[in-house]
Amino acid sequence: MSVNIPRGTQDILPGQSEKWQYIESIAKDVCRRYHYKEIRTPIFEHTELFKRSVGDTTDIVQKEMYTFEDRGERSLTLRPEGTAAVVRSFVENKMFGIPDQPVKLFYTGPMFRYERPQAGRYRQFVQFGVEAIGSEDPAIDAEVMALVMAIYKEAGLKKLKLVINSLGDAESRTAHREALVAHFKPRIDEFCSDCQSRLTQNPLRILDCKKDRGHELMATAPSILDYLNEESKAYFEKVTSYLDAMSIEYVIDPTLVRGLDYYNHTAFEIMSEAEGFGAITTLCGGGRYNGLVQQLGGPESPGIGFAFSIERFIAAMEAEQVEWQVDEGLDCFIVAIGDAAKDRSVSLVHDVRAAGLSADRDYQDRKMKAQLKASDRQKARFTAILGEDELAENRITVKDMSGGTQEQVPLNELAAYLKTTMEAN
């Protein structure tokens, strides 16, 4: 029996986990400024939730979900995406009754899809997402796109492209659907089996097919923008005007469709244009879903959201060679020589930590030279040395490793000295 990590998953080890924390901290801070609050939902939900929301015709539901029966013979599924669970919670907890609408939420956590693992794509991956539910104002569409662009730019990414499209309302989509069927039907046998099924189930998703993207009919397929009714056109024009007002650059791509059935009106993706990032350039995808709340048993509450993979975020950072603003160093490492000094160092480390600083000591009974090397490896800002002489005089030698200076500090003042010195610098 293998005890190795399952295929399509990864261990995030120290040295890498700090990068994840860095991205998450930026995303959460941007959400705070935009007045979005965190929501946490279960990792598994009833399977029916995803069938009803994501759609029976999607690859996610048909091929990629991790589904199992519990002891009560209930069908449960590890969440493949975050929107459905957030909307379910919105309905179940009657958040539509909150006076201030829209309800602005963000989430982060692992998602699960059984797909072929490849660079930057895993079967367990982590998404950060935002949902704004309860407004049909096109300004909230622009706000959501501005928010995610702010996250990427504050992390240091520059080679980004925002691609937008309108999927229109129900009337527009019906007209476009009929045009797509007429366009593809005469030669549908030249397409993959999935696209042949999509022709009758959801022809819009043919445009999203990765296998047949090079087929000549793809380039000449009817554009949704030609089938937007006046209301849908006006809505899309408002969205783009708000993006223009915020000086957010974008490209309109009429072939952009999202892979989930609940989208309508605004759809968008953010691409990385960094050299060497890879053939699949999408970093983030999102859009509006005006009927999803009703579909899950709630009142009419239009929504819009996005989600991005933190794994792909990190890959884009590395492709652009962005410098990570991650503090990996230790504030203080205490070197103790002799049994009495080692005993005293336990409470000293505790005092430094209680003062809000990071501190550590040796736990392997190493010699002084080895302890000093450990301090260097851990990039300690200060190395505090406590030997028998220092202990007898109730003091400790503190070396500032950045400046090379050294001072004698009373033992009971170590934490205060370190904190004051660091704040001064």
- Residue ranges making up the domain that contains 95: 17-169+229-319
Do 357 and 313 have their domain in common? no
Do 301 and 363 have their domain in common? no
276 annotated among ligand-binding-site residues: no
Token pair listed for 14: 């120290």
Of the candidate ranges 113-127, 222-236, 313-327, 340-354, the one whose mean pLDDT is the lowest = 113-127
Strands 103-112 and 37-38: parallel
The confidence score (pLDDT) of residue 261 equals: 58
What's the rounded Cα separation, in Å, for the pair 56 and 72? 24
Strands 382-386 and 359-361: unpaired
81 annotated among ligand-binding-site residues: yes
The answer to whether residue 186 sits within a structural domain is: no
Domain boundary among 298, 319, 340: 319
**Is there a contact between 239 and 266 (Cβ–Cβ < 8 Å)?**
yes
Measuring CA to CA, which residue among 111, 108, 42 is closest to residue 70?
42
120 annotated among ligand-binding-site residues: no
Of the candidate ranges 8-22, 62-76, 96-110, 258-272, the one whose mean pLDDT is the lowest = 258-272
**Is there a contact between 166 and 232 (Cβ–Cβ < 8 Å)?**
yes
Do 149 and 127 have their domain in common? yes
Do 351 and 404 have their domain in common? yes
Q: Would you give the DSSP letter of residue 298?
A: -
288 annotated among ligand-binding-site residues: no
45 annotated among ligand-binding-site residues: no
Do 244 and 378 have their domain in common? no
H-run or E-run covering 359: strand 359-361
Do 407 and 312 have their domain in common? no
Do 46 and 108 have their domain in common? yes
How many domains does the structure of the chain reveal?
A: 2
Average model confidence (pLDDT) for the chain? 91
What's the rounded Cα separation, in Å, for the pair 227 and 238? 18
What's the rounded Cα separation, in Å, for the pair 131 and 305? 4
The answer to whether residue 73 sits within a structural domain is: yes
pLDDT at 359 over 60: yes
Percent of the chain with pLDDT over 70: 97
H-run or E-run covering 12: none
Question: What average pLDDT score do residues 149-170 get?
Answer: 95
CA angle, 44 then 68 then 308, to 5°: 40
The answer to whether residue 4 sits within a structural domain is: no
Buried b (16+ CB within 10 A) or exposed e, 184-208: beeebeebeebbebbbeebbbbbbb
The answer to whether residue 145 sits within a structural domain is: yes
H-run or E-run covering 132: strand 124-133
Do 65 and 154 have their domain in common? yes
Q: What is the CATH number of the domain that holds 350?
A: 3.40.50.800
Do 301 and 393 have their domain in common? no
Do 114 and 30 have their domain in common? yes
289 annotated among ligand-binding-site residues: no
Do 402 and 272 have their domain in common? no
Residues in contact with 317: Cβ distance below 8 Å, sequence separation at least 6, in sequence order: 19, 155, 156, 157, 324
269 annotated among ligand-binding-site residues: no
The answer to whether residue 7 sits within a structural domain is: no
The answer to whether residue 409 sits within a structural domain is: yes
**Is there a contact between 385 and 411 (Cβ–Cβ < 8 Å)?**
no
Name the H helices within 185-325. Answer: 193-201, 216-219, 230-245, 292-295, 310-319
The answer to whether residue 120 sits within a structural domain is: yes
Q: What is the pLDDT of residues 192-246, one digit of tens each?
A: 988 888 888 788 778 878 788 888 888 888 888 888 999 999 999 999 999 999 9
263 annotated among ligand-binding-site residues: yes
Domain boundary among 293, 319, 345: 319
Measuring CA to CA, which residue among 121, 145, 107 is closest to residue 287?
145
Domain boundary among 287, 319, 351: 319
One-character DSSP codes across 382-421:
EEEEE-HHHHHTTEEEEEETTT--EEEEEGGGHHHHHHHH
216 annotated among ligand-binding-site residues: no
Q: What is the CATH number of the domain that holds 63?
A: 3.30.930.10
Do 119 and 49 have their domain in common? yes
What's the rounded Cα separation, in Å, for the pair 391 and 410? 10
The answer to whether residue 327 sits within a structural domain is: no
